[in-house]
Amino acid sequence: MWIKEFFPEALKRIRKQYGLTQMQLAMLLEMPKRTLEDYERGATAPPIYLQQLILRGIWETLPDLIAEHPEIGGKYGKQILDDMQKKIPL
């Protein structure tokens, strides 16, 4: 059950690595900010299979989401896209 312990930190790490606020990532994922906060704190978590899908989905689709919604990416939008295209490892 390592993913339960890994999920909050991985989610936070991805978000911070690309300079997104919790609000920005929540908007990109179309989830309430409070849910994202709870996930990052480890207060709640989706089932393990969804944790894996969320992390994989963020990593694989973040560039497309930011490209579609540059206003959400904020001042880091272009940098996020550039970094994601280089496939910076987690």
Q: What is the pLDDT of residue 90?
A: 44
CB 25 within 8 A of CB 35: no
Q: What is the pLDDT of residue 87?
A: 52
Q: What is the pLDDT of residue 43?
A: 92
pLDDT digits (tens, 9 = 90+) for 37-62: 999 999 998 888 888 888 887 777 77
Q: What is the pLDDT of residue 60?
A: 73
Global confidence as pTM: 0.67
Token look-up 């908007």 returns 27
CB 60 within 8 A of CB 28: no
| Residues in Cβ contact with 33 at an 8 Å cutoff, skipping those fewer than 6 apart | 22, 23, 26
| Spans of the chain below 50 pLDDT | 1-2, 88-90
Q: What is the pLDDT of residue 25?
A: 87
Strand (E) or helix (H) holding 81? helix 77-86
